[in-house]
Structure 1
Amino acid sequence: MADEIRYKYTTVRAVRGTDSLVISRMQKDGWEFVDQEPGMIRSTLSFRRLKKPVPWRLLGVGAAVLAVVAVAGVVAAALGDEGGKTDSETKAAPATMTATPNRKPSDAPTPAISESPAIEVITSRNNRAFTALLKADTCDEANVDFAAEYAGRTVAFDGSIADMAPHGDYDTRYDLLLAPGNKGPESTVGPAFKYEDVSVFDLNLTGDETPAAVGEGDRFRFVAEVREFNTVQCLFYLDPVSTEVR
């Protein structure tokens, strides 16, 4: 039976007037334009492209590897039982687990290093390049320059959630579009910052009253790590560090 055709979907928020440019760039990157939802300031463009099927041979190899690992685990357990451990050594410690909905193994928090040196957080007050970036257009060359020079560094800015959409098939993981400044989601000044594939836990909410959920229009003090700027989508990708309610 023929495999079912599957697509990967994505959406791009484009400032009105740049729709055709964004569509052209996405099509060059292999995306098929599906639909356009106009807005007062930004339009939402929908795209899709075919998912690459996993070769059946690769699936067979994976199953064989899992079988070998399982056998090795049984052998190791048998050898361990013959090691002559005392009663106190063989008592199992009580298991504990903290459940987090839809979190992936890669989302596990990294243990803090108490002796690590303090890293200066970049703000509009201490960095001229960041000040200029917050006043630049979403597709301005300032986005490329800043991302290239400060990738991996931490920035902080006031802003709001301009758009929020589920990430893939997840129910509690989202893609967030952040609008810098104090004008709310309607702001047309500054980069289109984006958090991709995050949950409310990843935002690390702080403040006197932290909400159980967040939504479009909510205002925060964002602290984030610089990742990269996508010149095709005109999106500036960040990773959340902390999010202070304001």
Structure 2
Amino acid sequence: MADEIEYEYRTVRTVRGADGPVISKMQQDGWELVDRTQGMLRSSLDFRRPKTPPPWRLIGAVAAVLVVLAGVIATAAVLEDGDGGEQKNAPGTSTAVASGKPSAAPTPAPAPASASASTAAGSAATEVITPQNNPEFAALLKADSCGSANLDFATGYKGRTVAFDGSIVHMAPHGDRDTRYDLLLGPGDEGPRTAVGPAFKYEDVGVLDLKLTGEKVPAAVGPGDRFHFVAEVGRFNADQCLFFLEPVSTGTR
């Protein structure tokens, strides 16, 4: 009788409107969407996928590998017996090489780093990353919100500062507080219609946390508002396709 398929299950909660990229990413990893519950601001997505076969199903494959390995070992033993005993050093081979001992030549000490190199490294670490001075960041702003470029950039530049022109895609209260918000940001000027680039997220921030600057600083912000965002790179949540940032400053434009 055929074995019944056993499944593992996962529930992903995301901001409403970001369901599509999350579903696409999960399906690429082998998950099947079985249910979707949508609220006013958030969605709950239920997935399942077949569990990994139990180890006993692999016994046959392991046994076959062991048989092959036994044959290889036996063949190697026969070939070794046929070599006629101890192998003599080939002419021209040094004693050090034949005996397997390393030469006595000292390993040169590494050259000390110059003061100018240290200064250059420090300048690179404090430089604000923009699409104009960093090709990786320029490519990220045009990449899919669930693509590998998000994780690669978050890993390589965690804690660094980035700056870009963008807009607010979505805004929702954080928990039960009406003065704290979760903001979804996107590159460009399309606001809620943003379809290209990472889903940047400011989580649990107030208007003062945005550090608004410019000639006309608004008292409140909302979806569609356009700003010049300066932020610190945080983590990337691959399950939700969200790229977390921490606000440094927000310039009106």
State the TM bucket, normalised to the shorter chain.
0.5 to 0.7
The equivalent residue for 1:218 is 225
Query: What is the one-letter code of the residue matched to 1:191?
Result: P
Tell me the secondary structure at the aligned position of residue 192 of structure 2. Answer: helix
Q: CA deviation at 1:136?
A: 0.2
Q: Are positions 1:177 and 2:180 aligned together?
A: no
The equivalent of 1:238 in structure 2 is 245
Name segments (4+ residues, structure 1) moved above 3 Å: 13-25
Report Cα offsets for 1:100-149 as digits up to 9, x if no partner. Answer: xxxxxxxxxxxxxxxx9892110000001000100100001000100000
Equivalent in the alignment of 1:45: 43
Is 1:159 paired with 2:174? no
1:84 matched to which residue of 2?
A: none
Residues 174 and 199 in structure 1, CA contact (< 8 A), matched pair in contact too:
yes
Counterpart secondary structure, 2:209: coil
Query: In terms of Rg, which structure is larger?
Result: 2
In the alignment, the residues of structure 2 paired with residue 124 and residue 136 of structure 1 have an alpha-carbon distance, to the nearest angstrom, of: 13
Distance of 2:200 and 2:146 partners within structure 1: 11
Q: 1:174 to 1:33 in 2, by over 3 A?
A: farther
- Paired letter, 1:244: G
Q: For structure 2, list consecutive stretches of 5 or more residues without a partner in the other structure.
A: 1-11, 47-121
Is 1:204 the counterpart of 2:206? The answer is no
Q: How far off its partner does 1:14 sit?
A: 5.2
TM-score by structure 2 length?
Answer: 0.57
Number of aligned residue pairs: 162
Structure-2 separation of matches of 1:196 and 1:171: 14
Q: 1:211 to 1:33 in 2, by over 3 A?
A: farther
Q: Percent identity?
A: 60
The runs of 5 or more residues in structure 1 that have no matched partner are 1-8, 49-115
Secondary structure at 1:202 match in 2: helix
Say if 1:14 and 1:145 are closer, same or farther in 2 by CA, change over 3 A: farther
The aligned counterpart of 2:37 is: 35
Which structure shows the higher helix fraction? 2
The equivalent position to 1:12 in structure 2, one of 6, 15, 22, is 15
Rate the CA distance shift 1:208–1:131 in 2: closer, same or farther, 3 A.
same
Q: How does 1:69-148 map to 2 (within 5 A)?
A: 119-148=126-155
CA distance in 2, matches of 1:137, 1:204: 28
Contact 1:23–1:33 (Cα < 8 Å) also in 2: no
